[in-house]
Homo-oligomer: A and B are copies of this chain.
Amino acid sequence: MRIGELSRRTGVSVPTIKYYVREGLLPAGRLSSPNQASYDETHERRLRLIRALLDIGGLSVAGIREVLAAIDDPGQSVHKVLGEAVHLLVPRYEADPDAAMIAARAKVAALIERRGWEMDAEDSQSEALAAALAALDRVGYGSYAEAVLDDYADAAEKAARADLAYVGRSVAREDMVESSVVGTVLGEAMLAALRRMAHVDASARTYETE
């Protein structure tokens, strides 16, 4: 198809599609004449993925470029590529830890131990949790984090188990990295929205009759 048709199908404007090609997010179309490029379903699919990561996942163009490179990188072990792809999705936190961050890291290490999770307390996901716990502590909500942490870990395990059950049943090996990125970013948006909805429900039940 021509770029105009690709634009119509995906709702992404022609200049934006050209920008993604220039930025290396989207492969160039196949030249069918010196100034006419042709696009196919793989472009359409990739373009939808880019938009989802941008609009719902809130990733930057540079972040998406790295994630797509990991998706397209063949021949590594699944666990390793999954780890790398998802690692790239984690926001970076300052290197210089304060007291709140040091205490939070200890809480994360204790949690990993307590739950028997097979992972490194120094990996990027653990750091992201420590950063969230440290931020809660700094704004005076350390006791909240402490009170809910294990219930949250139960909830997270429930979601992760549902994901893995689906992946094991339905996802071909070669699609696994892409599906992991999609599941991480969009599944997170889905879970976040559901949690907020559950809050609205709980708040309505608790406070609306006041």
A interface residues (Cβ-Cβ under 8 A, vs B): 11, 45, 48-49, 51-52, 55-56, 58, 77-79, 82-83, 86, 90-91, 93, 98, 112, 117-119, 123, 125-126, 128-129, 131-133, 135-136, 138-141, 143-145, 147-149, 151-166, 168, 170, 179-180, 182-184, 186-208, 210
A204: nearest chain-B partner, CB-CB: B118
Known: A159-B148, A166-B144. A82 touches B191 (CB 8 A): no
> Which residues of chain B have C-beta atoms less than 8 A from A90's C-beta?
196
Contact of B182 with A199 in the complex, beta carbons under 8 Å: no
> Which residues of chain B have C-beta atoms less than 8 A from A193's C-beta?
125-126, 128-129, 131-132
A200: nearest chain-B partner, CB-CB: B119
Contact of B155 with A186 in the complex, beta carbons under 8 Å: no
Contact of A199 with B163 in the complex, beta carbons under 8 Å: yes
Contact of A159 with B151 in the complex, beta carbons under 8 Å: yes
How many angstroms from the CA of A153 to the CA of B183 in the assembled complex?
Answer: 15
Contact of B144 with A56 in the complex, beta carbons under 8 Å: no
Contact of A83 with B11 in the complex, beta carbons under 8 Å: no
14 residue pairs A–B, Cβ–Cβ below 8 Å: A55-B91, A55-B135, A56-B132, A58-B91, A128-B193, A135-B189, A139-B186, A141-B186, A148-B159, A151-B161, A152-B162, A153-B198, A156-B194, A164-B199
How many angstroms from the CA of A28 to the CA of B205 in the assembled complex?
Answer: 39
Contact of B194 with A153 in the complex, beta carbons under 8 Å: yes
> Which residues of chain B have C-beta atoms less than 8 A from A180's C-beta?
199
A181: nearest chain-B partner, CB-CB: B139
| Distance (whole angstroms) from the CB of A49 to the closest CB of chain B | 5
| Distance (whole angstroms) from the CB of A57 to the closest CB of chain B | 9
Contact of B156 with A156 in the complex, beta carbons under 8 Å: no
A128: nearest chain-B partner, CB-CB: B193
Which one of A133, A161, A189 has the greatest number of beta carbons of chain B within 10 Å?
A189
